[in-house]
Amino acid sequence: MSLSRMGVVGAGQMGRGIAQVLATAGLDVVLVDVDVAAAQRGLETLARALEGQVRKGKLDPDARDHIVARVCVGPDLASFGGVDMVIEAASENAALKQELFGRLDRICPPHAILASNTSSLSITALSAHTQRPDKVIGMHFMNPVPVMKLVEVIRGLPTSDDTYAAVAELAGVLGKTIVTSRDIPGFVVNRILMPLVNEACFALYEGIATAEDIDKGCVLGLNHPLGPLALMDLIGLDTTLAILEVLHRELGEDKYRPCPLLRQYVAAGWYGRKVGRGFFTYAG
Ligand code: NAD
């Protein structure tokens, strides 16, 4: 495979997970966040996750050291001058990502592929902010990245067959299975998931049951591994709301209208696991 030097933008839960799977597959990674301290924390969290695998006997300490050594934190996007591909995993905000893609296009070598891990936003619109629209693509990992097998690959209108083939091959190298989606808001997985989790939020809002019972109903009654409220806490309530707003605005259907309770939790800063409080509370 010709991709060996990778850039990752955003060192939150997705960016650091993506950096981990890339480095585990033997690729060199530069991790950049607008908040350099967050990027450093991301690298430390990644190292802790690998340490957990060592303790369980799933990874030997030498391999862990090699993986960690393949990831470095860059001070800013200028660190991407020599990469073959960037995977952008910054916050779910259209204006922010469009501006990022314009800057990445000016900094990265002409051959580099620019991929976004966006959950809902238009890949075609991102590509229009670059001079290389054929090399822009969606590569939507699932959370937690090292655990979940699926990657959605989203072709924007101008995405070339070569770019698609390179990203499909990369997904295989990472041990992932792909599904391919047209560039329609929410793609496949979130198009289906978001109405479900939003409905769980409405059930709580309308006092139908407690948060515990809503989740228990879905775990025991629908055989879901995680209840929808706990899943929103994992995704991040801020990210969930941002995705629902895109679906509601772009597709214009009431079924995507974000629940007022979700808006209220986000307004309170109760974003879920990443801040220790969402529908449930989390120690540490
Ligand atoms: P997060 O809030 O955990 O992390 C986002 C990171 O982006 C933060 O560290 C923030 O400092 C950084 N950031 C913000 N603006 C930036 C900029 N201009 N340049 C560089 N870094 C910047 O969010 P997350 O859950 O990791 O989500 C990131 C992306 O992945 C979003 O597009 C989201 O929709 C998508 N995604 C999320 C999930 C999920 O379950 N959370 C799953 C699949 C895809």
pLDDT digits (tens, 9 = 90+) for 107-162: 999 999 999 999 999 999 999 999 999 999 999 999 999 999 999 999 999 999 99
* pLDDT score recorded for residue 166: 98
Residue-averaged pLDDT of the chain: 97
Rounded CA-CA distance 226/215 in Å is 7
Q: In a mutational test of the pocket of ligand 1, which residue from 14, 41, 194 has the highest number of ligand atoms less than 8 Å from its CB?
A: 14
Residue 35, by phi and psi: left (phi above 0), alpha (psi -120 to 50) or beta? beta
* pLDDT score recorded for residue 114: 98
- How far, in Å, from the CA of 117 to the mean position of ligand 1? 9
Single-letter amino acid code for the residue at 280: F
Q: What is the DSSP string of 193-234?
A: HHHHHHHHHHHHHTTSS-HHHHHHHHHHHS--SS-HHHHHHH
Q: Residue 119: CB within 6 Å of ligand 1?
A: yes
pLDDT-flagged residues of the chain (< 70): 1
Give the three-state DSSP class for 70: coil
Active site residue 111: no
* pLDDT score recorded for residue 1: 56
* pLDDT score recorded for residue 14: 97
> Buried (b) or exposed (e) across 237-261, using 16+ Cβ within 10 A?
bbbbbbbbbbbbebeeeeebebbeb
* pLDDT score recorded for residue 106: 98
Residue in 122, 127, 152, 248 annotated catalytic:
152
- How far, in Å, from the CA of 222 to the mean position of ligand 1? 29
For 32-41, the CB contacts below 8 A with 24+ separation are: 32/7, 32/8, 32/73, 32/74, 32/75, 32/76, 32/77, 32/79, 32/80, 33/9, 33/90, 34/90, 36/73, 36/75, 38/11, 38/12, 39/11, 39/73, 39/74, 40/73, 41/11
| 8 Å CB contact between 63 and 40 | no
Active site residue 140: yes
- How far, in Å, from the CA of 11 to the mean position of ligand 1? 7
Residue in 120, 140, 181, 198 annotated catalytic:
140
Q: Residue 38: CB within 6 Å of ligand 1?
A: yes
